[in-house]
Amino acid sequence: MSGKVRDYQQLAKDILEAVGGEENVIGATRCATRLRLVLKRSNPKAKEQVASMPGVITVVENGGQFQVVIGQHVGEVYEKFAGLVKLDTSDEAGGNKGTVLNRVIATMSAVFAPFIYILAAAGILQGALILINLVFPSFAKTGTYQVFSFISWASFTFLPIFIAMTASKHFKTNMYIAVACCAALVSPTWADMAAQIATGKSITFLGMALSKTTYTSSVLPPLFLVWILSYLEKFLNKRMNEVIKPLFVPFLCMVIMVPLTILVIGPITTAGANGIASGYNFLAEHVPALAGAIIGGFWQVVVIFGVHWGITPMVLANFDLHGRDSFQAYQTIAVIAQVGAVLGVILKTKNQEVRKVSVSAGVTGLFGITEPAIYGVTLKFKKPFIFGCISGAIGAIVASFFNPYYFAYAGLPGPLTVVNGISAEYPMSIWGILIGVAIAVILPVVLIQIFGYGEDTAKKADNEKQEQGGADLQVNSLQNNEETVAAPFIGKVIPLSEVPDAVFSSGAMGQGVAIEPSGNKVYAPFDGTVVMVAPTKHAIGMRSQSGVELLVHVGLDTVTLAGKPFTLHVKDGDKIKKGDLLSSFDKEFIQNRGLQTITPVIITNSHAYKEVIVEDVKNSTLDQELFTVVK
C-alpha cells in the first residue's frame, strides 16, 4: 500500500518484525527502489503484511530475495534497517540461497545498486556535453569542456574500484584489500604494458605471457577478483598468527590476487562478457526488429521481478568494445512507454487519488525509475501495463529501422538520457529513438482513452446508479467536499493511540479509531467497492464512490489464525451498499487463542485529504458516524 511515510525507523522495525526478526535475516541490500532481503525461512504471510504497510509500494519474492519495493525513500529505510540487524557472516547460515541464476542476479543487484545514481549522473553529464557541442561546436576545444569531460568519464574509468567497495561488502571481505587489488587493475602502468603487448611486444610474469586485456570500465574481472579474494582472505585469517596477520594478510592477498586476475581471471571473464555482448549484437544487427520487440515489449516485465541488473555487464562491455550500445536505446523506449501509460491514466481518470498517485509515479518515471509507475498505477490496473508493453514493443520496432544506439552509458535510461543517442557518425540514431519515444508516449495514451484503464466500467456503473437513484446523503455531502463514514459494527470506540500494536497506534497506516466489537459481524460503512480481502480473511479493504479507502482489520495478530474463525460474505471487486454484511467471525475462537478482538478501522489514504475528522463517540452503532472526510 503506497502512501506517505516519514518515520523510516518505524517502517524498518515493522519490516524486520514481519519477516521474522533479526535472526531470520541473512543479508540486506538495496537498489534504486527496493530493499532486498535474503531470509533463512520464507513466511508467506510476511509478503501480505509488509505490502500493506504505508510507504511500501509492493513486495516481490524472486531471485532468492524478499524484495520490498519502496521507491525514492528506499535509501532512508535501508539505512535504518541496516542499523537494526547484525547480519550473520557464518558459512553455516542456513538460508535459502536459491538457484545459481538467482544468486548471480542478487549479486549484480547488491554490487551495482549502491552507485547506480553515480553512473546515471555521469551519463546525464555526458548527454549535456553532447547537446552543448551540437549547438556550440567550438566548445569541444575549450578547457571547460575537457574538465567536464574527464569528470563524466571518471566513474566509468575507475568502475572496478566502485565494484571493489560494494562487492567486498556483499562477499564479506576486507574492503581496503579489495580496493587495493582493483586499483592495481586500473593503474596507468598496467594500461601502458597492455598497450605494448597489443603492439606485439611480449611481456611475461614468472615466465608466463601476459595478455593485452585492460580493466578500466570492466565489470566481471574485478567482481570475480573480489569473490575469490573473500575465500583467500578467510583462508589466511584462519591460519595466520594474530601478530603478523594485519600486515601479511593484505600483502599475500595483493601479490596473489592481482597477478592471478591479470593472468587468468581477467582474460576469461572479459571474454565471457564480450561473448554475451557479441551474441546480443548479432541479433540486434541481423534481426533488429526482433531485438527491439523483445526489449521494448518485455523489459518492464523483467523489472517487475527485479532481475534487470543482470544485463549490466553486457551493456558496459558493449560501450567498452564499441563505444555504443543499442540495448539501452530500446530500453529507454520501454521505460518511456510506461510513463506514457501513466499519462494516459492521468488524462482518463476522474478519481483524484488515482490522479495524484499517477502524477507522482510519472514524475519518478522521468528519471528512469519505473517501479512506482508499475506497482502504483500500470500493473495495479493491468490494462495500462499491457498497453505500455505493446507500445514499447512497437516503438522499439520502428526505431530499429534507424540503427538506434546510445553513445554514453545511462545508469537509468529514460526521458533525460535520450540525448545519449546523438552522434555525428550515426545521424539517424537519434531520429529513430525520438520516433520510438513518440510512439511510446502517444500510443498508450490513445489506447487508454479508447479502452479505459481498468476502473472505468465500475465508475460508469456507479455514475448510472447515481443518475437513476438520485443523490443520497453521501452524494450530497460530497457536493460539499465532505464525506461521512459510518461504523462497520457495534462496539466500544477506542482511540487509535491506545491500540497495543505500534503499526496502528503510530498512525503510520493512516488515521482512524479502534472498536472492541460487541457482536460478530462486519457491515459496509458506505456505498462502494471491495478492493482487498486478505487471504486469511481477517481484513477487508473498501473504497467509497468518491475514493475514500477504508481498512477494517478484525482483531490483532489474527493473521496467524489462517482464516479459521472468519466467514466472508464478499470478495474482491464486489459492489457494496451501506449496511451490507461483509464478514462474520467467532469471537470466542479468537480469544481462546490468546488474541484480542480490538479492531482498527483505518482510512488508509488519509494523506489524500485536507482533513479527517474523527468523531468524538464512546460507543458505535451501525448508523453512527465515525469520520468526516474533508477534501
Instruction: Let me know: does 377 contact 338? Beta carbons within 8 Å.
Output: no
Q: What is the DSSP letter of 241?
A: -
Known catalytic membership, residue 538: no
Predicted local distance difference test score (pLDDT) of residue 118? 85
pLDDT above 70: residue 140: yes
Residue 607 has pLDDT above 80, yes or no: no
Neighbours of 425 (CB within 10 A): 9
345, pLDDT greater than 80: yes
Please report how the helices 288-304 and 266-286 are oriented relative to each other, as an axis angle in degrees rounded to 10: 120
Alpha-carbon distance 364 to 360, whole Å? Answer: 6
Lowest mean pLDDT among 44-58, 256-270, 543-557: 44-58
pLDDT of residue 45: 82
Count how many residues are written for the chain: 631
Q: Convert 233-278 into a string of H (helix), E (strand) and C (coil).
A: HHHHHHHCCCCCHHHHHHHHHHHHHHHHHHHHHHHHHHHHHHHHHH
Q: How far apart are alpha carbons 413 and 409 in whole angstroms?
A: 9
pLDDT band at 259 (very low <50, low <70, confident <90, very high): very high
- Please give the residue that has the higher pLDDT: either 441 or 105: 441
Give backbone dihedrals phi and psi of 595, rounded to 5 degrees, phi first.
-110, 160
Q: How far apart are CA 280 and CA 274, in angstroms?
A: 10
Q: Is the pLDDT at 535 greater than 90, yes or no?
A: no
Q: What is the pLDDT of residue 23?
A: 83
Catalytic site residue 389?
A: no
Confidence of residue 466 (pLDDT cuts 50, 70, 90): very low
Query: Which run of H or of E encompasses 157?
Result: helix 143-157
pLDDT at 438: 97
More confidently predicted of 421 and 23: 421
Whether the pLDDT of residue 504 is over 80: the answer is: no
Confidence of residue 100 (pLDDT cuts 50, 70, 90): low
Neighbouring residues of 516: CB distance < 8 A, sequence distance ≥ 6 = 491, 492, 494, 597, 598, 599
Residue 260 has pLDDT above 70, yes or no: yes
Mean pLDDT of 21-36: 79
Residue 229 in grid coordinates: 579474494
Query: How confident is the model at residue 337, as a pLDDT?
Result: 95
Is-contact 37 30, C-beta < 8 A? no
Instruction: Give me the amino acid identity at 224.
Output: F
Where is average pLDDT lowest: 368-377, 399-408, 510-519, 579-588? 368-377
CB atoms within 10 A of CB 275: 11
Higher pLDDT, 171 or 534: 171
Residue, of 54 and 515, whose pLDDT is higher: 515
Rounded CA-CA distance 373/456 in Å is 19
Say what the pTM is: 0.55
User: DSSP assignment, residue 165?
Assistant: H
- Site of grid cell 469471537: 587
34 sits in which H/E element:
strand 34-39
The pLDDT > 70 percentage for the chain reads 89
| Least confident segment among 85-89, 239-243, 325-329, 581-585 | 85-89
Which one is predicted more confidently, 398 or 309? 398
Q: Which residue has the cell 443518475?
A: 467
Catalytic residue among 31, 181, 182, 389: 31
The one catalytic residue in 170, 308, 538, 553 is: 553
Q: How far apart are CA 374 and CA 300, in angstroms?
A: 8
Return the sign of the alpha-carbon dihedral for residues 506, 512, 513, 514: negative
pLDDT value for 378: 87
- At residue 460, does pLDDT exceed 50? no
Q: Are 84 and 16 in contact (CB under 8 A)?
A: yes
Neighbours of 337 (CB within 10 A): 33
pLDDT, residue 336, reads: 95
Alpha-carbon distance 302 to 475, whole Å?
43
pLDDT at 257 > cutoff 90: yes
Set of cell numbers at residue 483 = 464525506
Strands 575-576 and 482-486: unpaired
pLDDT range class, residue 164, cuts 50, 70, 90: very high
- % the chain with pLDDT above 90: 33
Separation of alpha carbons 423 and 280, rounded Å: 22
502: pLDDT strictly greater than 70: no
> What's the average model confidence in pLDDT over 379-405?
93
Reported as a pLDDT band with limits 50, 70 and 90, residue 478 is: very low
Q: Which one, of 482, 512, 496, lies nearest residue 629 by Cα? A: 482
The pair phi, psi for residue 286, each rounded to 5°, is -95, -30
Q: Residue type for 603, please?
A: I
Residue 95 in this model has a pLDDT that exceeds 50: no
The count of C-alpha atoms lying within 13 angstroms of the C-alpha of 606, restricted to the half-sphere facing its C-beta, is 22
Please state, in angstroms and rounded to a whole number, the distance separating the CA atoms of residues 8 and 547: 27
DSSP class per residue in 347-415: HH---HHHHHHHHHHHHHHTTT--HHHIIIIIHHHSHHHHHHHHHHHHHHHHHHTT---BSS--SS-SG
Cell triple for 22: 533479526
Is the pLDDT at 98 greater than 70? The verdict is no
Cβ contact 367:416 at 8 Å? yes
